[in-house]
Structure 1
Amino acid sequence: MRVLITGAGGFIGTTLTAALLQAGALKNAKGESERIDEILLLDTHLPATSDPRLTRMQADISDHDTRTAIAAWKPHCVFHLAAVLTSAAEEDPAAALAVNVSSLANLIDTVGNKAAPPRFVFPSSIAVFGGLLPDNVDDDHLQKPQTSYGTHKAIAELMLADATRHGLIDARALRLPIVLVHPGPPTQSVSDRIAGMVRDSVAGQPTVCPLRPDTKVPVVSVDTVVRNLITLQDADTAALRGKRVLNQPALTVSMEDIVNALNIVAEVAPRVTFEPDAELKKIVDGWPKGFISTRAPSVGVVADKTFDEIIMSYQRHLGSAAKTSAA
């Protein structure tokens, strides 16, 4: 089996690559486990690799030559992670549209195959929802995105459903809440502004929280996201019950909850200063606080149980990275 990962150099992409190498196989359209022979990593920046199953393509997904190479390679499965995220999309909506929507359309055209449609796994976003929201938002809640990024993801969901209807691909999408914990260096993404609290505190450094202590957000660990993306890829089509998109069930925590968990788990008590950012608050306030899924149990998609587990997962990643560097 040949697997394509776009955005492979990013936070989720690097974790997904490691998980696929460890798993060694995915289920094919017949529901049979099939060995992964090669993984094509596509991004503008990629880490060095040594596993013979990995092929690096350091290129822009928007380039025609890149798509020509992908078409010749003929992937059986695609994890399309490449995206321009919330803050950057707000600053330059046109550039974000080109990556988040136009490049997706071109990629579908590139890999689509009615004779043997590849499975196409896509991380959508909690940002497709907005406006006045109930306490808990489920899979089928009306979409009213309040950001360009959320709008692009909503468009992408419809495009994937339509391409699946035409038999070009077999799409499955998972709407993600805030994914933690980005290892750094710091970025201006919404999730990383919150991740910085954990990253700095575990490192024994003072940190600034850009939200009020009582602000609640839905979160998930990167390890859980990756497991669920693979689970979704492997899911039998019948288990999807005609629906191609579901929410990633989330753990809802306040900023104060995060500090308390760090007090328990981290070896050094966190030194957190709260300095609310009005623009960030506006974005976060437009998102659901309770993020649930009625379809997740039928396909085996799960949530994290506690924030303690998310911190410990991050600490394990730090330990693995340190061992790799030493080797």
Structure 2
Amino acid sequence: MRVLITGAGGFIGRTLTSALLQAGALTNAAGTSGTIEELLLLDTHLPPTSDPRVRHLQAGINAPDTLKQVAAWKPHSVFHLAAVLTSAAEQDPARALAVNVSALAELIDAVGAKDAPPRLIFPSSIAVFGGLLPDHVDDDHLQRPQTSYGTHKAIAELMLADATRHGMVDARALRLPIVLVHPGPPTQSVSDRIAGIVRDGVTGKPSICPLRADTKVPVVSVETVAQNLITLHNADPVKMRGKRVLNQPALTISMEDIIESIARVTNTTPNVTYALDPDLKKIVDSWPKGFISTRAPSVGVVADKSFEDIVSQYRQHLAEKSAA
């Protein structure tokens, strides 16, 4: 099988690349296991790799000729991760629209084929929801996005459903909450502002929490996301019961809970100062606090067991990186 990952140089993309190479195979359109023979990584910045199955296409997804090269390669499966994220999309909505929406339309045109539609796996977002929300938001809750990024993701979900209806692709989307723990360097993304608390807490550095102690957010580890994207790819279409989008089941945790979890795992007292960021608070307050899915169990998509597990995974990652 030929597998494409767009946005492969990003946080989730790197973890997904490793998970796919380790898995070595995916379920193909015939419902049988197909060996991953080539993995094409597409992004403006890509990490080096020595795996002979990996090919690099270092370019922006909306750069001239990029998708022509992708179309000529004819991937059997696509994991479309390339995106302009929340904060950046608010600052430059026109650029975000070009990457998040227009480039997706062009990608569907490039890889779509009625005779052999590729599976296209898409990470959507919690940001498609907004407004007055219940305590727990399920897969089919009405979408009222309050950011450009959320709006783009909602549009993308509809585009993928329509392309699937036309038989051009076999699309499946997993809506993600806050994904942890970004290894750094620090960015201004919403998830990284929260990841920084864990990153600094585990390494004993002082950190600033940009939200109130009692602010609750839904979270998932990047390792769980990578495995769930693969699980969603491999899911039997019959078990999806005609539904193409589901929420990633998440842990709901407060800022105070995060700090206490770090303390339990590291047996230290994290040095955290609270300094409220009103813009970040506005974004986070528009999101669901409880993020659940009634469809996830039927296809094997799971949540993390505890936030301590997420902290421990990151701590182990640091130890392995230091020993390498």
TM-score (ref. length: structure 2): 0.99
* Matching residue of 1:311: 311
Within a 5 Å distance, the mapping from 1:251-266 to structure 2 comes to 251-266=251-266
- The Cα shift of 1:93 comes to 0.4
Q: Would you say 1:173 and 2:173 are equivalent positions? A: yes
Deviation track 1:144-196 (CA, whole Å, cap 9, x = no partner) reads: 00000000000000000000000000000000000000000000000000000
Q: Would you say 1:198 and 2:198 are equivalent positions? A: yes
Q: Is the 8 A contact 1:202 1:267 kept in 2?
A: no
Cα distance between partner residues in 2 of 1:262 and 1:270: 7
Within a 5 Å distance, the mapping from 1:107-126 to structure 2 comes to 107-126=107-126
Unaligned runs of 5+ in 2: none
* Matching residue of 1:95: 95
Q: Structure 2: which amino acid aligns with 1:38?
A: E
Within a 5 Å distance, the mapping from 1:2-151 to structure 2 comes to 2-151=2-151
Kindly report the root-mean-square deviation, in angstroms, between the aligned alpha carbons of the 2 structures: 0.7
- Counterpart secondary structure, 2:65: helix
- The Cα shift of 1:267 comes to 4.5
* Matching residue of 1:284: 284
- The Cα shift of 1:130 comes to 0.1
Q: Structure 2: which amino acid aligns with 1:137?
A: V
Cα distance between partner residues in 2 of 1:31 and 1:175: 24
Q: Is the 8 A contact 1:138 1:291 kept in 2?
A: yes
- Counterpart secondary structure, 1:281: helix
- Counterpart secondary structure, 2:220: strand
How many residues are matched?
324
- The Cα shift of 1:47 comes to 0.7
Range that drifts further, 310-319 or 15-24:
310-319
Cα distance between partner residues in 2 of 1:3 and 1:319: 31
Q: Structure 2: which amino acid aligns with 1:131?
A: G
- The Cα shift of 1:31 comes to 1.3
Tell me: CA distance 1:130–1:202, structure 2 relative to 1, closer, same or farther (3 Å).
Answer: same
Cα distance between partner residues in 1 of 2:254 and 2:223: 21
Cα distance between partner residues in 1 of 2:139 and 2:75: 29
Cα distance between partner residues in 1 of 2:71 and 2:64: 11
- The Cα shift of 1:12 comes to 0.2
Q: Structure 1: which amino acid aligns with 2:88?
A: A
- Counterpart secondary structure, 1:121: strand
Q: Would you say 1:224 and 2:218 are equivalent positions? A: no
Q: Is the 8 A contact 1:19 1:226 kept in 2?
A: yes
- Counterpart secondary structure, 1:60: coil
Q: Is the 8 A contact 1:8 1:14 kept in 2?
A: yes
* Matching residue of 1:214: 214
TM-score (ref. length: structure 1): 0.98
Unaligned runs of 5+ in 1: none
- The Cα shift of 1:323 comes to 3.4
Q: Structure 2: which amino acid aligns with 1:107?
A: L
* Matching residue of 2:235: 235
Q: Is the 8 A contact 1:211 1:274 kept in 2?
A: yes
Cα distance between partner residues in 1 of 2:94 and 2:104: 15
Cα distance between partner residues in 2 of 1:213 and 1:276: 10
- The Cα shift of 1:138 comes to 0.1
Deviation track 1:205-255 (CA, whole Å, cap 9, x = no partner) reads: 000000000000000000110110000000011111101000000000000
Cα distance between partner residues in 1 of 2:241 and 2:2: 27
